[in-house]
Amino acid sequence: MSELQATARGDQSPFEALREVRPDGSELWDARRLMPHMGYAAWQDFQTAIERAKLAAENSGMSVVENFRVAPKVTGRRGPAQANYELSRYAAYLVALNGDPRKQETASAQSYFVIRTREAETAAPALTGPELMATALLEAAATLKAKDQQIAELEAPARAWNNLADAKGNYSVAEAAKILSQDPNISIGRDRLFDFMHSKRWIFRSRNPRGGWEARQEQVDLGRLYERPARPFLNSKSGEYELPAPTLRVTVKGIARLHDLLGGSGQLTLSDAA
């Protein structure tokens, strides 16, 4: 971003080195640049922490649009653009708090943003020694309660999703859509799921005169889709038996893959998923 002035001091945290300043003086942290410094290698995993942070900001009455500015990033000479955000200090603070605490890098980010955000709010001189640690602990304790409440709110739909999905066999597309929609991050119906699978080249329009959908052979071979043979019927006009298109079914493995493609929350545990 050419119009931004990156600021850093050699004796500061690497998170300070990532801080950028707009011409109007407002600060930002580029989410894509911040990601590896919090111990994340995949954007999809890091985006989970961002989405939780956005929910926390919304619940606290802060503007998600202003604090999490959408800023797609194009790599190379051509697209497609990658999802990205310009995070305010407050947004970066929430992302750090909602990151994986098992990662050492995330723990370092939490310490940095808790302390620096506190300093920015109070405009007081930086604390040192035991006072610095005490402030960080107090801030962390205050956010844990809110975080626990968010987790509790997500547990109920997550349990429902797991109970429905943790099964064997195969399902109609309408049933699969209902199972997928138990995930709080997914909302989809039967017709939209047909369209989505068509867009991903899982299925195609049947050449059967009576219409319908058929599975592509590679998806059947992968164990994601199943075609239940239809029963022949007597055409009263022609007097001949006709065979309708097979009935399309989605396997447990197929639901697991669709859950991933649709941006599921990662709360799925399927015994047959691969």
Report DSSP state, residue 61: T
Tokens of 11: 């004796």
pLDDT at site 10: 39
| Domain-wise residue ranges, the chain | 5-160, 170-261
DSSP per residue, 205-266: E--STT--EEE-HHHHHTTSEEEEPPPPEE-TTT-SEE-PPPEEEEEHHHHHHHHHHTT--S
What pLDDT, on the 0 to 100 scale, is given for residue 265? 77
**What is the spatial distance between Cα 113 and Cα 93, in angstroms, rounded to a whole number?**
5
Residue 225 is predicted with a pLDDT of 92
| Angle at alpha carbon of residue 180, lines to 175 and 183, rounded to 5° | 140
Residuewise pLDDT in 10s, the chain (274 residues): 433 443 333 346 788 889 999 898 889 999 999 999 999 999 999 999 999 999 988 888 889 999 999 988 766 666 677 889 999 988 999 999 898 888 889 888 888 888 877 776 665 555 555 555 555 666 666 666 666 665 555 555 555 445 444 445 788 999 999 888 888 888 999 999 999 999 999 999 887 666 788 899 999 999 999 888 766 656 667 666 666 667 889 998 899 899 989 988 765 544 444 3
Confidence at residue 1, expressed as pLDDT on a 0 to 100 scale: 41
- Which pTM does this prediction carry? 0.42
What's the pLDDT score for residue 260? 87
C-alpha to C-alpha distance for 250 and 261, rounded to whole angstroms: 14
- DSSP secondary-structure letter at 86? E
